[in-house]
Structure 1
Amino acid sequence: MRNIMTNDHKNWFHQRYCAVVLLLLVSFSVSGCSLYVMAGKMFFGDPLITCEFTKQTKIDLIEDQKKVLVVCSTPESIRSDYPSLNYDLLEQVTYRLRRENIKVMDTGEVATWLDDNGGVWNDVDELAENFDVDYIIHVDIDEFDYREPNSPNLLRGKAFGHISAYEVNTVDEIKRALEIFDVEYTSEFPSHMPVSIEQESATVFRKKYLDRIADQIGRFFYNYHAGDPI
């Protein structure tokens, strides 16, 4: 004997279905946005975030397979305290871009050229002339420290600067670099409270903080999933 669903039964199931959906929505709104994120991942997967460079320029460094040069600079006041900071950032940012299949100039070549020129450069066009690349990324850190002011036993990373990118073109047989991207970069970690040196040594914390800075800078130039750790 066949079961025949009447219109009344259909209406009853429809009402129950709507009630369940409404209950879930209310639960999400009460419990916070994390449940929305979990639900979104469940049905649609971890969303891919378009990087800021591509948003502003419509250029995808991975798909377009453009070659990139990365340079880092800091003022003398920072270099005196952290003489290896420029090279450490250069190496770590380059590693992250290369990991995402962006073609990046070898850090050894960049470091050698900088050493031969006194460790500094004054004009981005000079870089364009001396390196065969399509884009130049300039990481300019104006402020950097990982020690809490007036608290020698506490650690908290702070950094501020600008991240710029230039497109290299040849004009009248001379290479020129035109700025196409510029964003302000600011960082504080951890934001809630500093770390005691009894919990973590200054050397370990500094390495961890530099890795974090490199991750944040890298994400300006390649897409990433919303749930990726940083």
Structure 2
Amino acid sequence: MRDGAEIFCRLALDSILPGSAMKAWMKNQSDAHTTIARRSSRMRLTAMVCALTACLLFHGCNYVVMIGYLIGGPPSIEPEFDAMTKESMTDKDVKVAVVCYAPKEVRFSFEDIHFEVSKFVTFRLDSHKIKTVPPDYVKAWLDQNPDWDRAEEIGAAFKAKYVVYIDLKAFSLYEEGSASLYRGRSEAIVSVWKMDESFEAGEKIFSKEIISKYPLYQPKSAADETLSNFKALYMTRLSEEIGRLFYEHYTGDDMGDAT
């Protein structure tokens, strides 16, 4: 998860270097894909070892299950979007735009959180073979069209088949009632709008409430981590929670985020 800090810094630099935005974005995708692949492999290996250990400790173990873990690893989980809509963002020739809205009370403490969330989620989707519109392009369009009020407008502007709209209702980084313990928390509604073949109109086909918490089981001491590093870690975690709605993941992937 510490790789999230490096990713966060690269994304932040990209936003202030407009001349190299596209080049930096493409390089980030290559680096990030390798990072995510390695992390996922470690998590799946940990889950497999735990499952095998449990099998050895308890005599009631089903050896067929144990052999299945040895051969194929832990079972995968179908994305909720795919299960509910019978569609997939990984299909050929599909392009996805991501946009996040945060109310003033959230942006009061985190001025650019809406752009940061959309950027991290876009990165997450792209690293899982989902073709995306570069977030700087979306941000530029939003800046030029401050009166936009429909997700379909973004789909039309970029000819994206799907628009992932994140309504971020709450965001915090400290444990409730504490200034010395970190715990990221978010509440959001993630919706997907599907554009028609002409990219002139669209309809909402998916909606899911996200209630996020990291670390999962106990907060992290502020003495052990800088706020900026913890924020990067949590943004990586939050983007993964949202991203899993749209790409396959595995049993045991959350084990590394427990503490």
Residue 96 (structure 1) shift:
1.3
Tell me the TM-score normalised to structure 1 length.
Answer: 0.78
Partner of residue 235, structure 2:
210
C-alpha change, 1:79 and 1:38, in structure 2 (3 Å) is: farther
Structure 2: segments with no counterpart, 5+ residues: 1-54
Secondary structure in 1 aligned to 2:122? helix
Partner of residue 116, structure 1:
144
Q: Percent identity?
A: 29
* 2:214 partner amino acid: F
C-alpha change, 1:80 and 1:67, in structure 2 (3 Å) is: same
8 Å Cα contact 1:48/1:224 also seen in 2: yes
Partner of residue 196, structure 1:
221
* 1:208 partner amino acid: L
Looking at structure 1, the residues matched to 176 and 253 of structure 2 have their Cα atoms a distance apart, in angstroms, of: 31
Residue 227 (structure 1) shift:
3.9
Secondary structure in 2 aligned to 1:54? helix
C-alpha change, 1:174 and 1:54, in structure 2 (3 Å) is: closer
Partner of residue 30, structure 2:
none
Matching of residue 140 in structure 1 with residue 167 in structure 2 = yes
Partner of residue 43, structure 2:
none
* 2:171 partner amino acid: F
Q: CA RMSD in A?
A: 2.6
Looking at structure 2, the residues matched to 139 and 29 of structure 1 have their Cα atoms a distance apart, in angstroms, of: 45
Query: Deviations along 1:50-99, whole A, 9 cap, x unmatched?
Result: 11110011112213431111101111111111012111111111111111
Of residues 111, 114, 120, the one that matches 1:92 is 120
Looking at structure 2, the residues matched to 105 and 177 of structure 1 have their Cα atoms a distance apart, in angstroms, of: 17
Matching of residue 225 in structure 1 with residue 250 in structure 2 = yes
Tell me the TM-score normalised to structure 2 length.
Answer: 0.70
Matches within 5 A, 1:144-163: 144-163=171-190
Partner of residue 27, structure 1:
58
Looking at structure 2, the residues matched to 174 and 97 of structure 1 have their Cα atoms a distance apart, in angstroms, of: 21
Query: Deviations along 1:205-230, whole A, 9 cap, x unmatched?
Result: 11100110001111111112324456
* 2:191 partner amino acid: S
Structure showing the higher helix proportion among its residues:
2
Structure showing the higher strand proportion among its residues:
1
Looking at structure 2, the residues matched to 186 and 37 of structure 1 have their Cα atoms a distance apart, in angstroms, of: 32
Secondary structure in 1 aligned to 2:58? helix
Bigger Rg, structure 1 or 2: 1
Looking at structure 2, the residues matched to 112 and 41 of structure 1 have their Cα atoms a distance apart, in angstroms, of: 47
Partner of residue 50, structure 1:
78
8 Å Cα contact 2:97/2:133 also seen in 1: yes
Looking at structure 1, the residues matched to 144 and 65 of structure 2 have their Cα atoms a distance apart, in angstroms, of: 51
8 Å Cα contact 1:97/1:218 also seen in 2: yes
**Structure 1: which 4+ aligned runs deviate by more than 6 Å?**
none
Looking at structure 1, the residues matched to 153 and 112 of structure 2 have their Cα atoms a distance apart, in angstroms, of: 23
Q: Give aligned pairs, total.
A: 201
Secondary structure in 1 aligned to 2:129? coil
8 Å Cα contact 2:152/2:193 also seen in 1: no
* 1:58 partner amino acid: K
Looking at structure 2, the residues matched to 180 and 190 of structure 1 have their Cα atoms a distance apart, in angstroms, of: 31
Greater Cα shift, 82-91 or 179-188: 82-91
Of residues 98, 101, 104, the one that matches 1:76 is 104
